[in-house]
Structure formats: C-alpha cells, structure tokens
Amino acid sequence: MRALLLEADWSPRGDYKPTYKEEETHKTPMGSRVWRNPKLKLVEKSKPKPKGKQLLIKVKASGICGSDVHMYEFDNEGYMLYPGLTKLPVVIGHEFSGVVEEVGGEVSMFKPGDPVTAEEMWWCGECLYCRAGMPNHCENLEEMGFSVDGSHADYILVPEKYVWNISPILDYAKSEDKMYVLGATVEPVGVSYNAMFVRAGGFQPGSYVVVYGAGPIGLAAIALAKAAGASLTVVFDLVENRLKVAREMGVDYAFNIKKLYEEGVRPSDKVLELTDGYGADMQVEAAGNPSATLPEMERSLAVGGKIAWIGRADKTAPIFIERFQTRRAQIYGSQGHSGHMIFYNVIRLMASGKLDTSKMVTARFPLDRYEEAFNLLIKEKGHAKIQFKL
C-alpha cells in the first residue's frame, strides 16, 4: 500500500535537554526542539493485518491539517516548526474517513463495510488523567499521524475504541462521497467543539463570538457558534480567500487584519464597534499567534468573557492580568477532541444538516500529488482545507 512518510534527524537544540526516555524512544512532546531536516516521501508499505480489537480501514478521504504542514516546514536552522508530540519516522495524517475492510477477532462494535472516522488522540483509559475524565491529557498518549502511523495512506490500522460510525451523515449528505468528505472533518470540528463547549463551558444563545484565524479550526468554530445560537459571529484573518470561505459558511462579519491596520483600525476596535462597546462573550484563538491576538482579545473582552485557546505556538506572549481580573474573564487552554461525546455530537450535528463543513474543503488531490497539495497550502495560503481522495 502507499503511505506518506515523514522522516527527520534527531538533533536536539542546544538549549533543550531531552529526558532519558525521550533519548531512548525518540518520542518527544516538543517536536520543534529536536527534529531537524524533515522530509516527506511516498513509500510502499505492507498492508497491515488487524489483530484483537483492531480495525483495518480503507481510507476514502484524508485532510491535510496545519499540523501536517508545520511538521513538513522548518525554520532557518532546519528545525521542524511543529511543537507537539512526535515520534519519527511516521506516516502522517489524522483527519480521515473510510470504510472498514477487515476486523480483528475481538472486535464487537463494527463490521466490514461500515463507514467510519476515528479519534486522533489515542488515550490509554487507565492512567490518572484518563480515569479522571481527561483523556486528551493521557500520560501514555499516542497521536495518530504524529507518534503512530496515520491516515495519509491507502489503509490505516486503528483500535476499535477510537472509531466512530459516520453512516448517520449519509441521510443528509445524499452521496457516499460527500459523507466521506464530511466524515474527514469530524476531527478538526471536534477540536473546536472541545475548546468552546467542554473546556470553556460554552455560551448562552444570543452571545457574541469572535474567532481569530479562518483556517479549518477557526471555520469549524464559526460553524459551531452559528449552530449553538450566537447572535453575532466575527472572524479575523490575513488571507482573503479564507475570509471568503468564512462568509460562505455564514459568518456575520469577516475582516482582513492587514487591511484594518492599514486603515489605522485594530481588530478589537471592530469588535467593540459591532457590540456597542459590550465586547465579546467568547473569543477563539485559532491562529497560533499569541503576541498578535492576545492584546486584541484582552482589549475587547465582555465582562465574564471567555477565551478558548486552540492555536499552537512555541512562544510566549505578555498578558495584562488586571484586565482579566476587572472583566471577570478567563483563558481556557485546550487540546484534543476525545471524551465527552464530542465525536458523537459532531456526527449528529452533521447528520441533522445543522453543521455542513463541506464548503471548507477547497481542493482534493490524489495521494501521489502530495507535493502539489502541500505546496499549495504553504505558498498560496488561500485554501481552507485540502483533502486527499483515495
């Protein structure tokens, strides 16, 4: 079978000292501190055989995540840009849908022919944090496409407990192809769902919701905000084509930050203008640029305002604590999408027609054109989501 493999050199930065376990396993929570000269290549691998509670899934659609791009990109010293958990070499990809081809002897919930997707966070279910209901912070966490082989391949092997049936989406999608397109977006939508409604506790219908970053996670946040009853949704980004997609997905206001600054207007000025000085009840950081976004979010907080932080960045940013105290506001750090019926609820929203993410998929490529697909995301930056069609 074909698989898109990422390789890199283990070469820790001078200011980063890996633990003994990291050195022994080459599995690190800080990829950008150790992996150098990343390279992607399409390889032939043996088709795996499912055992026990494993499912062999024929991949139908697999989305390229910003994390995939950051694993492929590197800084001026050659270090990978992605700052998270990694163990290389690995087949990348984690936003996917497919059909069950074969099951292990202990599988009880699925059968060949079932259309499915799966969680990217492979939690153990036994450590302290899993038992406390926090599987996204599992002490023994593996991540599909980062530390175990992922979905940019013809087939993927996934343990049963991470797999979800997407057949309910077919009633709305009307075609299997669209069902698989939507099914491959359940994971990124789940990331936004977790941040907004699990970690930050959601918002009351009628609230004002502002999103920084109109990539797939930000677009998912907009769609969820609309579905949950926000009376005003606003998004900021630097790329006009992404803002166009946001408008197509129903956002009320979409602003190009660069153009605003050229006019002498800050994003927070627009938020305060649109809310008559009230501010935003919930703000979602999906840009991964804290030094630029945090000051704007601080300045436009409603009393009791919440910031759901999703964007990843290996950097620090100043924070004006007094503002959070006087506005009774809070930042909620968030990662992952597991637990709390997140996948189940996202699938139900898609099946109902209240959440259609197909408009965020702006291009589809065969797997053997992976270089073209990645370069399109890196150089043009106008695409929201590119998927491989397998």
Q: What is the set of active-site residues?
A: 67, 70
Question: Minimal CA–CA distance to 381: which of 252, 216, 249?
Answer: 216
Interatomic CA distance for residues 82 and 11, integer angstroms: 15
From residue 299, give the alpha-carbon distance in Å to each of 63, 118, 271, 319: 35, 38, 9, 11
Torsion sign across C-alpha atoms 126, 127, 130, 136:
negative
Give the burial class of 192: count Cβ atoms within 10 A of its Cβ; 0-12 exposed, 13-18 middle, 19 or more buried. buried
Q: Do the Cβ atoms of 122 and 148 come closer than 8 Å?
A: yes
Interatomic CA distance for residues 268 and 162, integer angstroms: 40
Interatomic CA distance for residues 251 and 236, integer angstroms: 11
* Strand blocks (E) in the chain: 2-10, 27-28, 35-44, 54-64, 86-87, 90-91, 95-103, 115-118, 121-122, 142-143, 155-159, 163-165, 208-212, 232-237, 253-256, 280-285, 301-309, 330-333, 361-365, 385-389
Residue written as token pair 């206001």: 253
State the pairing for strand pair 361-365/330-333: unpaired
